[in-house]
Amino acid sequence: MEFRELLIGLIVILLAAKIGGELMERLGQTAVLGELLAGVVIGPGVLGLVRETKVLHAFAELGLIILLFEVGLESDLAKLLKAGPQALLVAMVGVVVPFATGFGLMHALGYSGLVAVFVGATLTATSVGVTARVLADLGRLQDAAASVVLGAAVIDDILGLITLAIVTGIATTGAVSPGAIVLLAAKSAIFLAVAVLIALRRAPGLVGLIGRLQARGALVVSALVFALALALAAEWIGLAAIIGAFAGGMILSRTEPQAQIEERIKPVADILVPIFFVLVGMKVEPAQLNPFADGAQLWVALALTVVAVVSKLVAGLAVYHPGTRRWPVGVGMVPRGEVGLIFAGTGLAAAVVSPDLYSALVVMVMITTFVAPAWMKVLYRPGVELESI
Amino acid sequence: MEFRELLIGLIVILLAAKIGGELMERLGQTAVLGELLAGVVIGPGVLGLVRETKVLHAFAELGLIILLFEVGLESDLAKLLKAGPQALLVAMVGVVVPFATGFGLMHALGYSGLVAVFVGATLTATSVGVTARVLADLGRLQDAAASVVLGAAVIDDILGLITLAIVTGIATTGAVSPGAIVLLAAKSAIFLAVAVLIALRRAPGLVGLIGRLQARGALVVSALVFALALALAAEWIGLAAIIGAFAGGMILSRTEPQAQIEERIKPVADILVPIFFVLVGMKVEPAQLNPFADGAQLWVALALTVVAVVSKLVAGLAVYHPGTRRWPVGVGMVPRGEVGLIFAGTGLAAAVVSPDLYSALVVMVMITTFVAPAWMKVLYRPGVELESI
């Protein structure tokens, strides 16, 4: 019975993802937008064909890990390192400005300081998943702006974790533990530094062993185990699993069978990654978007959305290298995606954010997530040249 | 936390499967034997590194479905149909003889009629999963004997469902419903007939549409959805999901992009299929195999095992075509695998089979499952020619 539900769920999700992706591609949009919309349509808000079970949730989480692994695999470490200082600046501006403006807006609207802190924190999120997927759909992972956005999104994910630790600390104990925050920041920096070092020095040796294996499927399984092990390591030291998966891909991108790994992991990604985006879409309840339901809430949602978009565009202005375009960087930081939902959900769970305000935050998350892929598509329309640093 | 457990579980299972498979291949055995043994080692009976969760169980079930889909995809429908009458005869002998001898043995040992019926039913099982995987590992899916074994194993799976319906009926209501059994048999026959008809007539048209899709991964996702849909259809009408997956593969084997589908589905199978076999191995508790624990039970287990092996070898004698070898057919029917465990488990759940007898049945299932791959490897040692019907 349970297995039947899983079969139905997978069939509906994969079919909807492919139909949505295909339609959007024919309309000149990216496939990921179609998958997000497909999730809205089959989700509990509209047709209610599928509900998110534990197993489907696990598939989606693995999908996100494989996506980041794949993006790491396709990325160019030399370019990422070159883009590093710029990416760090963009990430910092992309955290400070959304937080400050979000806090200011809520304060101006008369909300308490604690609520304003939580909303500001939610606005700092960047969905590295959505951004990476859009760049992959557009075939622009090698672009100079892409290196900056990806680097900034990864750093943003780490800054987001730190921000979440701070605001949760304020909400629960009323205080911030500076030691814990310094520790988290230090662990993150060390983790990434070690990954980069391994990528530069030890990657070829790692793969020699795999090449000597005879059993069928040794390469794809080894690569996957490597990605999962790094995701686990990241998760273990308190980072997000996807950071580890990205680092794992980055390390293997420096190895000789990189192209083979990419080719073998692709079909696995083709199946699992859309499940993640459909499940993100399934979290939208269009009833919440109805302007006649509650006028005040709608205006809060729209104000939050404007602040969310503009404040991340400002981050794009932090690009100082003349050869890199600012707009793709700014727009690439706009989608809040699953990260924004986690922030808002934490606020709701801590009873800091009211259900009404939570709905407004979800509207903001969804609009930013749905607008960014279409916007990126315009910025990278055919004929726009690839840039290099 | 739960996600961390999943990551650890997947890493341990996949690593153990590859190490076990690699070791066995170097010892001249099939990889599947190594995966089964790896499961025993990491399972609760020995190291206890992993426990079977809902999510891992779902992965394993999907793995079995993809394995049967892959086998259907690689099989030759013309050969299967040609081997059909022989396969039917082998399957029938392979159900009647094990049932009769198992019943006789238990009766002679003084067990009640109902227990003897259940044990006889358990002996009729054939693990199409293990047999198919061994043939695939050996690269012998195109062999004449392979067509007979595969056909017989699939028919056996259907006969097994009918047998299970009968004995469960006897155990619970004390009576058999002839109507229900005729219905199940008719549904099975119609399902397979329709699948064969579609394969012969409509398969090329099915794929024309897929070819026109633009989105990335359209082929692998379409193929998987097709396999899942047929598995669901089979399950819906009361058959095993794997029969549907096999039929789905058989249909697509007649289409033009068959080779491409095979290539794309392989990495997915490489990851999911070993999970199934490791989880089968994890169900073994070596403590049950200890001869000093309970002498009487050990002798029952050994007697059951001898009857189980010999009675299925007899089925191989039903091969009447002079060009097809009898031994590979008989040995191919020996492994009881997950099907035998389901039968024994049903008997235990119905309180017909005592825990002691259940352990003896598990020993029989495991020995037949572990012996068959090694035996098949000997029968198909290098130099043995491929046969054709």
Residue B227 CA to residue B242 CA, distance in Å, equals: 9
Residue A386, domain member (yes or no): no
Q: What is the pLDDT of residue B385?
A: 57
ipTM for the predicted complex comes to 0.84
pLDDT value at residue B365? 87
User: Inter-chain contact B58–A55, Cβ cutoff 8 Å?
Assistant: yes
Within-domain flag for A388: no
pLDDT at position A287 is 67
Q: In this model, does residue A17 exceed pLDDT 60? A: yes
Considering only residues B290 and B225, tell me which one the structure prediction assigns the higher pLDDT. Answer: B225
Cβ neighbours of B273 (radius 10 Å): 29
Residue B6: is its pLDDT beyond 80? yes
Query: Is the per-residue pLDDT at A255 higher than 80?
Result: no
Q: How far is Cα of residue A387 from the mean position of the Cα atoms in its chain? A: 23
Pairwise CB contact (< 8 Å): A58 & B11: no
| Angle, CA B63 vertex, CA B58 and CA B69 arms, to 5° | 130
Min distance A332 CA to chain B CA atoms (Å):
21
Instruction: Give the pLDDT mean for B217-246.
Output: 88
Check residue A296 and give its pLDDT.
Answer: 67
Residue B332: give the domain boundaries. 53-272+293-379
Domain annotation covers residue A49: no
CB contacts of B25 in chain A (<8 Å) are 214-215
- Across the interface, whether the CB atoms of B214 and A22 are under 8 A apart is answered yes
Tally the domains of chain A.
Answer: 1
What is the torsional sign of CA A169, A170, A171, A173?
positive
Contacts of B271 in chain A (CB under 8 A): 217, 220-221, 224, 268
DSSP string, B201-238: HTHHHHHHHHHT--STTHHHHHHHHHHHHHHHHHHHTT
Mean pLDDT of A187-192: 83
Q: Given an 8 Å threshold on Cβ–Cβ distance, is B232 in contact with A8?
A: yes
In a domain, B14, yes or no: no
**Residue pLDDT, tens place only, B27-70:** 877 788 888 889 989 988 788 899 889 999 999 999 989 988 98
Contacts of B74 in chain A (CB under 8 A): none
Residue bearing the bigger pLDDT, A253 or A59: A59
| pLDDT tens figures, A301-346 | 899 999 999 999 998 888 887 777 888 888 988 998 878 887 888 8
Q: Does B270 sit within 8 Å of A31, measured CB to CB? A: no
Chain B residues in contact with A214 by the CB 8 A cut-off are 22, 25-26
> What does the pLDDT read at residue B287?
67
| Maximum average pLDDT range among A151-155, B4-8, B75-79, B210-214 | B4-8
Helices (runs of H) and strands (runs of E) counted in chain A:
16, 0
| Cα–Cα distance for residue pair A235/A244, rounded to 1 Å | 8
Q: What is the pLDDT of residue B255?
A: 77
Residues A223-250: what's their mean pLDDT?
A: 88
- Mean predicted confidence (pLDDT) in B242-256: 84
State both tokens at B40.
């025993």
CATH code for position A335? 1.20.1530.20
Quote the tokens at residue B41. 């080692």
> Nearest C-alpha of chain B: how many angstroms from A327?
26
Whether residue A204 is predicted with pLDDT greater than 80 in this model: the reply is no
Interface test with A, best of B7, B74, B228 (most A CBs within 10 A): B7
Check B14 against A224: CB less than 8 A apart: yes
Q: Are A249 and A75 in contact (CB under 8 A)?
A: yes
Task: Please provide residue A230's backbone torsions phi and psi, each rounded to the nearest 5 degrees.
Answer: -70, -35
A15 and B231: CB-CB below 8 Å?
no
**CA quadruple A220, A222, A223, A228: dihedral, nearest 10:** 120
| Cα separation, B117 vs B119, whole angstroms | 6
- Residue B386 placed within a domain: no
In a domain, B227, yes or no: yes
Residue in chain B lying closest to A53 (CA):
B55
Across B154-181, average pLDDT: 77
Model confidence at B99, pLDDT cuts 50, 70, 90, reads very high
pLDDT at A140: 83
Lowest model confidence (mean pLDDT) among A178-182, A240-244, B64-68, B266-270: A178-182
Whether A48 maps to a domain, the answer reads no
- Residue % of chain B over a pLDDT of 90: 23
- Of the candidate ranges A175-179, B234-238, B309-313, B358-362, the one whose mean pLDDT is the lowest: A175-179
Closest CA to B361 of B312, B313, B305: B305
Query: Is the confidence at residue A242, as pLDDT, over 70?
Result: yes
Cα of B230 to nearest chain A Cα, Å: 10
Q: What is the H or E stretch that residue B38 is in?
A: helix B31-42
Q: Is residue B311 part of a domain?
A: yes
pLDDT at A134: 87
pLDDT for the residue B311? 93
